[in-house]
């Protein structure tokens, strides 16, 4: 829409010569402020100032028929473009954090985890290892060389005791791990990878690294580490909200 048309629309729908409006048109140049306030996803905030030209008679008639929006109505009812009117890339800051037009954390995390998990599961199926079993093997490989207790594995993998107990039992049955009596706590066992577990871990790790590289390729190379750092902050915040801060994990 041209600048002239925006000016007309502004008078028609607001009856005013000035207002704050949200647009998704970076090439729009008609604004009163010296620079547009660029927001996330190419959303621009403009302090619109309509040129002081007489309003045509037909527009005066039209504007009289248009009811003024109440202060309680959403911005999308004002006649101005919103996120849903464009390609879905606009997220005006005035929208609630859980508005359908905005990117929301829980659905995004679920989509990432589900698709990544299912893709990884298919690619390693021929090796006879599941994604959860690989996570156990990786955690054991990167943990205490003496082995980890079931409690430590549960904490490090953000799992629950019942799920972990069942998972470890299946892995022990197929010979991937072994349990040894803890030297300080007779009630606990140290869990370590057996030679076949280490071989399978090395084989699956190559597939895991290739998949992660493939997924992150959508981001510029210089932004990938920063993205992962931010994601780690979100993960830590979720853990704290769940009442299980990282400080709970104690290495023995």
Scanning the chain, the segments in alpha helix (DSSP H) are 3-14, 57-65, 105-124, 131-142, 150-156, 161-173, 195-216, 221-241
Q: What is the pTM (predicted TM-score) of this model?
A: 0.60
Q: pLDDT tens track of the chain, all 252 residues?
A: 444 554 455 444 444 444 444 444 444 444 444 444 444 444 444 444 444 445 555 544 544 444 444 444 434 343 434 434 444 445 567 888 888 888 899 999 999 999 999 999 999 999 999 999 999 999 999 999 999 999 999 999 989 999 999 999 999 999 999 999 888 888 889 999 999 999 999 999 999 999 999 999 999 999 999 999 999 999 999 989 988 655 444 444
Residue position matching structure tokens 């990786």: 138
pLDDT at 8: 52
Q: How many CB atoms lie within 10 A of CB 103?
A: 14
pLDDT at 155: 92
Helix, strand, coil % (nearest 5) of the chain? 50, 10, 40
- Partnered with residue 23 across adjacent β-strands are 44
Please identify, in words, the CATH class of the domain defined by 106-215: mainly alpha
Q: Which residues make Cβ contacts (< 8 Å) with residue 185, sequence separation at least 6?
A: 149, 252
Distance from chain centroid for Cα 21: 28
Q: Distance between CA 87 and CA 113 in Å, rounded?
A: 25
Q: Which residues make Cβ contacts (< 8 Å) with residue 164, sequence separation at least 6?
A: 150, 153, 154, 157
pLDDT at 85: 43
Q: How many CB atoms lie within 10 A of CB 74?
A: 13
Task: Sketch the domain layout of the chain as residue ranges.
Answer: 3-78, 106-215
pLDDT at 90: 52
pLDDT at 99: 87
Cβ-in-10-Å burial (0-12, 13-18, 19+) of 100 comes to: exposed
């Amino acid at each position: 829409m041209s600048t002239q048309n925006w000016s007309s629309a502004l008078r028609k729908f607001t009856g005013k010569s000035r207002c704050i409006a949200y647009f998704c048109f970076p090439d729009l140049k008609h604004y009163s402020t010296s620079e547009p306030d660029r927001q996330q996803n190419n959303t621009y905030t403009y302090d619109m100032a309509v040129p002081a030209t007489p309003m045509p008679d037909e527009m005066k008639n039209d504007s009289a028929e248009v009811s003024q929006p109440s202060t309680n109505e959403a911005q999308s009812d004002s006649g101005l473009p919103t996120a849903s009117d464009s390609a879905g890339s606009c997220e005006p800051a005035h929208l609630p954090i859980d508005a359908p037009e905005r990117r929301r954390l829980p659905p995004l995390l679920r989509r990432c985890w589900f698709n990544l998990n299912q893709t990884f599961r298919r690619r390693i199926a021929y090796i006879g290892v599941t994604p959860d079993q690989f996570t156990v093997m990786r955690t054991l490989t990167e943990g205490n060389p003496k082995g980890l207790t079931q409690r430590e594995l549960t904490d490090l993998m953000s799992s629950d005791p019942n799920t972990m107990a069942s998972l470890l039992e299946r892995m022990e049955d197929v010979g991937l791990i072994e349990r040894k009596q803890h030297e300080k706590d007779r009630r606990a066992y140290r869990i370590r990878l057996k030679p076949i577990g280490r071989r399978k871990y090395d084989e699956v790790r190559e597939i895991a690294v290739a998949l992660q590289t493939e997924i992150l390729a959508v981001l510029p190379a210089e932004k990938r580490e920063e993205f992962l750092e931010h994601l780690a902050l979100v993960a830590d915040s979720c853990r704290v909200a769940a009442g299980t801060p990282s400080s709970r994990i104690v290495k023995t």
